[in-house]
Amino acid sequence: MSARRPTLEEVAVRAKVSRGTVSRVINGSARVSPQTRAAVMKAIDELGYVPNHAGRTLAARRTGVVALVLSEEQARPFEQPYFGEILRGISSASSAAGLQLMLTFTHSPADRARLADDLRTQRVDGVMLISLLHRDPLPGLLAAGGIPTVLGGRPANPASYVDADNKGGARRATEYLIGQDRKRIATIAGLPDTAVGIDRLDGYRQALSGGPELVARGDFSETGGATAMQELLEREPSLDAVFAASDNMAVGALHVLQRHGRRVPDDVAVIGFEDSPIARRADPALTTVHQPTESMGRQMVEMLLTRIHGTSTANGQVICETNLVIRASA
């Protein structure tokens, strides 16, 4: 005999809310506070509750399928801790809402145009997009097709999105280095055609308030961080601090500094961004800007549900707070 499935009432008791509130959360209603929504989602996860969307899906001509599109080559996301964490949040929230998640990759402009047509044909209920180029045409193509869409990251054009406070986090990291009396602070910035690369560089520049900059760019990978760190040392051997726009790039920078005999943090302080597991395993442990990546994934699903169910059709935005986590590298 199979185990009894948890009920809606049991979720309500666990979350200490009414049955109607649980129903509104599951159906993506905007008339629920973020704290209440979080409590209900937590109860759903703990109990393993799976909503029965079959009748509603049929009546509304919905498929119960949402697509997650990564604008990357297929192998690359699995090298980045960020993607694993946000996918975990998206997957858990999709499952709790009774949605099937379809994962797909797109890299070239031809891919994007073809994918927009495919998604319209397959009648997915909605789409989530992450790792977009700053002026990627795909959100506009999907909007033109009437497909509810939510982005992970700030878009160049109006759209619904969830993002971290990248600019504020980068500014606080750089201000911390200034407060440590570091005199020559460099940054390993991200790609210039991504919103995250733009915003984290802007935060670094805000903290310097027009002071001398020292910028090299990487591609958010460990190898990219190492290459940028080598370039920075050649340009400015006297640098004494580095803010890297990702933990992966910060770890690459650590390896290069160690090869050059630079002590971290005595000679050069290093700060990353994300607070991924690699930051805690680094030697020395990495001071970094924490962003709630898994929670951001769950909030993308919640925002998408409000658009699918028509409880919110206006473009919305959620900016998640970031904070500096002090460890041994700075």
| Residue 241 CB contacts under 8 Å (≥ 6 apart), including other chains | 177, 180, 182, 184, 185, 186, 268, 269, 270, 271, 330
Q: Do 172 and 277 share a domain, yes or no? A: yes
Local confidence band at 107 (pLDDT 50, 70, 90 cut-offs): confident
Local confidence band at 74 (pLDDT 50, 70, 90 cut-offs): low
Q: Do 14 and 103 share a domain, yes or no? A: no
CATH code, domain carrying 4:
1.10.260.40
Average pLDDT value for residue range 289-308:
93
Let me know if residue 159 belongs to a domain: yes
Q: Do 274 and 305 share a domain, yes or no? A: no
Q: Do 99 and 237 share a domain, yes or no? A: no
Per residue in 170-224, pLDDT tens?
999 999 999 999 999 999 999 998 999 999 999 999 999 988 999 999 999 999 9
* pLDDT at residue 48 greater than cutoff 90: no
Let me know if residue 285 belongs to a domain: yes
Q: Do 84 and 38 share a domain, yes or no? A: no
Per residue in 10-45, pLDDT tens?
888 999 998 878 877 776 665 678 788 888 888 887
Local confidence band at 135 (pLDDT 50, 70, 90 cut-offs): confident
pLDDT value of position 57: 46
Let me know if residue 256 belongs to a domain: yes
Q: Do 179 and 83 share a domain, yes or no? A: no
Q: Of the residues 32, 51, 70, which one is the last residue of a structural domain?
A: 51
Q: Do 158 and 298 share a domain, yes or no? A: yes
Structural domain for 205, as ranges: 166-290
Q: Do 160 and 301 share a domain, yes or no? A: yes
Q: Do 21 and 67 share a domain, yes or no? A: no
**Per mean pLDDT, which range of 67-76, 80-89, 261-270, 315-324 is the poorest?**
67-76
Q: Do 175 and 138 share a domain, yes or no? A: no
Let me know if residue 329 belongs to a domain: no
Q: Do 14 and 73 share a domain, yes or no? A: no
**Per mean pLDDT, which range of 39-53, 113-127, 134-148 is the poorest?**
39-53
Give CA–CA dist 154/196, Å, rounded. Answer: 8
Q: Do 212 and 173 share a domain, yes or no? A: yes
Number of domains in the chain: 3
Average pLDDT value for residue range 136-160:
87
